[in-house]
Amino acid sequence: MTWNLPNIITLLRMAMIPLFLFFLLSGIVPHGEIFALVVFATAAISDGVDGWIARSRKQETLFGKFADPIADKLLIMAALLAFVGLGEIWNVWVLIILAREFLVMGLRLLAISHDVVISASILGKLKTLSHICLVVVLLLNRFWEWGPVGDSVKNGFIYLAVALTLLSGFEYFYKSRSLFRTAS
């Protein structure tokens, strides 16, 4: 691994996950949801920062290309699984999101074996943004308890995240359908 600033930021993002979960789940820290929100927001923002630094300083590395999306997925997966445990989101929605992530990751591995790079699409980026917004809404709703309005907002973000998850997943597979002809 190359020790440069973008890679260090990616590793720090991964290290923030247990801290986020501690604040969210432990119940030890008063208003832990707010601390969890700060940690999560910092980690989510760091995703854009490390990518921008890597591109602007020409410090893109193989490790960064591999670890950065994994760090993002781990952060979102950890948060969503924690919210399943807290009863904030139905496990089927999270299963759909996780399944899409694993399927697209497998698709990318297949593409790599054929010397094809599958870049993130606009729908894929919107999907990621919807997941981040969903986690933020779930955190805010737990702390402030908006009542029926909060439930409507929460459900709207859940439906948006799941819809973008499915649409972006279908898009990746549709655009990569030639890989399956080559692979068989």
Tens-place pLDDT, residues 84-121: 999 999 999 999 999 999 999 999 889 888 888 788 89
Give yes or no for residue 184 having a pLDDT over 70: no
**Class of residue 124 by CB neighbours under 10 A (exposed 0-12, middle 13-18, buried 19+):** buried
Scanning 26-147, the segments in alpha helix (DSSP H) are 32-56, 62-85, 91-113, 122-144
Rounded mean pLDDT, 18-38: 94
Q: What digits encode the pLDDT tens for the residues 50-94?
A: 989 999 999 888 888 888 889 999 999 999 999 999 999 999 999
Assign 24 a pLDDT band (cuts: 50, 70, 90).
Answer: very high
Residue 21 belongs to a domain: yes
Residue 86 belongs to a domain: yes
For residue 82, the model assigns a pLDDT of 97
For residue 83, the model assigns a pLDDT of 97
Which among 120, 133, 8 is positioned nearest to 71, based on CA atoms? 8
For residue 183, the model assigns a pLDDT of 60
Residue 168 belongs to a domain: yes
**Quick check: 97 and 161 in contact, CB under 8 A?**
yes
Residue 37 is encoded by which pair of tokens?
């929100």
The CATH code of the domain that includes 148 is: 1.20.120.1760
115 to 62, 70, 109, 118, 182: CA distances (angstroms) = 15, 20, 10, 10, 12
Residue 184 belongs to a domain: no
**Quick check: 49 and 17 in contact, CB under 8 A?**
no
Q: What digits encode the pLDDT tens for the residues 121-153?
A: 999 999 999 999 999 999 998 888 787 888 899
Residue 144 belongs to a domain: yes
Residue 122 belongs to a domain: yes
Residues 6+ apart with CB under 8 A from 92: none
Residue 61 belongs to a domain: yes
Between CA 174 and CA 184 the distance in angstroms is 16
Residue 44 belongs to a domain: yes
Overall number of domains in the chain: 1
Domain that holds residue 55: 5-179
